[in-house]
Amino acid sequence: MSSHGTSRRTALLQTLELEDRLTPTQAAFDPEHVLVSFAEVVPEAWRTASLAGSAGVQGFEALGLGLYRVAVSPGVDRDVAERELRGLSGTTSVGPDYIIRTQTVPNDPVWNANRSAGNSIGLPAAWSTTTGTGQTIVAVIDTGIDVTHPDLAPNLWRNPGEIAGNNRDDDGNGFIDDLHGVDFTTNSNNLTDSVQHGTHVAGIIGAVGNNGQGVAGVNWRTRIMPLKFIGANGGLTSDAVRALDYALRNGAKIINASWGGSPYDTAFAAALSRARSAGAIVVASAGNYATDTDRSPFYPAAYTTQFNNVLGVAATDDAGNLASWSNFGATSVTVAAPGVNITSTLNNGRYGALGGTSMAAPFVSGALALLWDQNPTWTYSQILDKLKTSVDRLPGLSGKVATGGRLNVAELVNAGPVNPPALPVAPPPPTADRTGPRVVAAQFSGAKAGQFDRVRLTFSEAVNAATLTNANVAVAGPTSTLSISSVIPTAGTNGTQFTLLFSRVQSTTGSYTMRVHSGVRDISGNPLDQNGNGITGEAGDFFQITSHLAGTASPPPPTVPVAPPPVSPPSGSRVNYTPGLLPRIVLPRRTTRFEIVVNETFAVEDLTVTLNLVHPRPGDLSLRLSAPDGRRATLVNRIGFAATTTFADRNGTKPLQPLSTFQGAPARGTWVLELFDLGDGGAGSLNTISLGFARTSIAAQSLWPAGAPHSLNAEDLDSSSDERNRAILGGRSDAIAKVR
């Protein structure tokens, strides 16, 4: 098709069928990069230090909100690099950066097919009520837009923080002159649509109406925010995530995603969760493979089963039948809309007809923008409830889409909000693995005594971390419901163990109850089968645990322990004890406390302390060990030590104070290792701790001598440090990490 020297009428007769097709059985990905997500609570310094120190990493780029695009070193296998990165503390996901493409397939010439399509969904009647107000921003995350097109230019979103043409990043968001949007493939403001896909989609949503030329969008006055992440060679999931976050930061209420085909992606799922929290709706095309996506999910449309702010849209023909090539799904596709021979805007001021679910989705986006313009105070849930109750229920769509119907814009804008209908709930898609997961262990804990700030869950098999949401894991305290802020997989457990961090530290005494509902699913999509009867997702398939948080009253002074009865372990055997909830982040100028419980009775002999600690400046650290009977010994004080160190009086690194301090003491009870980070050198991670004992078969034989010194006090520590250290340890400037 020539772009120059062609009459307007000739351009209007040019047609294409554009289908957002990816090879559905094998997803392409960038072989030179890996996407890594860190939990929000992990400090930036720790993230960058971890990535920089990982084998096989050539470099990395921060994409925001804990997501990094990591370059794999030449000659290193990407799978090997992924395994290395999964072992880093605090990561929530590690995986490929999938490539997303569109393909163009020629079709017979068609002109003005929208008249039939528009009538079928009640557009003329809807326009008699409203044509839009321009209050709702619709982000078109796609291949770009022809920003000079006369039917689109007046309705483009305008960034209020940018001054046009001054070659500056006026709003400080990292992009120069992003007046209307961003090209994330080049990190520039060049929104040129080399594929024509985004331009066509934008015209369906919001081409200017009643201007005497071209076509009219569903919403004549909406504000279109073009965000480009797909170029001539496809686009990356990481750029789609960046585009979605940009849209949310700049006020978009509706995001149109007329593309898909990559597998489930944790980073993109996290972005959809942020969209839900922001009250935004994501409208996605269902795909063009005549496939049941309940059985073979097509993302991002299939995220509708996980996020109630995501819609999957199938395509219908003029007769209201499901298009022969349209995907469908009784639970994974929400609604249908016209998608055959749809005329809209093309590059260089032209028009033409294209087809696909890519064309159906923007009909829904434009309609929702009309409704939100009409009801600007409604929530996203009210908007979607109204959509689902206003469809035309058609026999050909029954069992094919969740609502059983096609978009009806006239009904959508002509009544108030209503409760959503009871939609059919289909069973989960059959999978090779039909066994549901079970919770096998759970434990509340906190960074300090007298606090709860997390719960650790262990499952019988690998679990989809994206299903560990506040809806599926409900936690209630003595006075209020608790919110989960981060989900951190435990390294080396292959997705079977997770630490769920609360948004706030809890110190109110009383009972705390957690219930894990059947919405938690394994990686094959099977719901919880807690009762183990082989039937997943039943009402009784839940796990519940209650823990009591006691107060933090000061412990009584040490008393002479009563000698316990003899025990049976053979004389001379050794035993090791480790704490739970490792690895743990070590923050600068903070005290981190680790509790190790010894549940057997024996006398301490030949104690050793082994730990693995990754830290940018180990010379900032002090370590102190306390026994259950109150004895203490400082192991090291700001002189540094190796990443893996065994402190021992013999055959190891000698501690600052001898571990023979604990010789003969009763081992049973809670030991405490305190780690004081006294500098500003950045965060680290304590990955393992082990207390090793040589046990004897007799009860404790000696007691801690009255009045014997058992730990360095503040003055002792001061004498080994500079003035700044004295200020910290003496508490005269910052007592956060004060040794006491």
Q: What is the DSSP pairing of strand 405-406 with strand 439-445?
A: unpaired
Phi, psi of 729 (to 5 degrees): -70, -30
Instruction: Please choose, from the candidates 289, 262, 404, the residue with its C-alpha nearest in 3D space to the C-alpha of residue 356.
Output: 289
Which ranges of 464-520 would DSSP assign to H, the alpha helix? none
List the structure tokens of 578: 């480790």
| Residue pair 254/166 in contact by the 8 Å Cβ criterion | no
β-sheet bridge partners, residue 283: 256, 311
653 with 645: CB under 8 angstroms?
A: yes
Q: Provide the CB-side half-sphere exposure for 542 (13 A, CA).
A: 14
Tell me which residue has tokens 């009520």: 129
How far, CA to CA in Å, does 615 sit from each of 91, 296, 680, 687? Answer: 17, 45, 12, 11
Core vs surface per residue 346-372: b (16+ CB within 10 A) or e: bbebbbbbbbbbbbbbbbbbbbbbbbb
Bridge partner residues of 103 (DSSP) = 19
- 3-state SS of 267-334 is HHHHHHHHHHHCCCEEEEECCCCCCECCCCCCECHHHHHCCCCEEEEEEECCCCCECCCCCECCCCCC
| Cα distance between residue 172 and residue 160, in whole Å | 12
**Do the strands 67-72 and 223-228 form a parallel or antiparallel pair, or are they unpaired?**
unpaired
* Tokens (6 digits) for 380: 């996203």
DSSP string, 23-81: -TTS--EEEEEEEEEE-TTS-HHHHHHHHHTSTTEEEEEEEETTEEEEEEPTTS-HHHH
Q: Which two structure tokens, joined as six digits, stand for 232?
A: 């001539």
**CA trace torsion 539, 545, 546, 550 (10° rounding):** -160
Residues counted in the chain: 740
Q: Residue type for 555, please?
A: P
* Partners of residue 484 on adjacent β-strands: 502
User: CA–CA separation, 178 vs 186, rounded Å?
Assistant: 12
Residue by residue, DSSP assigns 237-266 as HHHHHHHHHHHHHTT-SEEEE----B---H
Instruction: Find, among 102, 473, 27, the residue nearest to 263 by Cα.
Output: 27
Please name the helix (run of DSSP H) or strand (run of DSSP E) that holds residue 210, with its range, or none. Answer: none
For the annotated catalytic residues, the residue numbers are 142, 197, 358
Question: End-to-end distance of the chain based on CA atoms, in angstroms?
Answer: 78
DSSP code of residue 299: B
At which residue do the structure tokens 């304590």 appear? 686
Are the C-beta atoms of residues 37 and 271 closer than 8 Å to each other? no
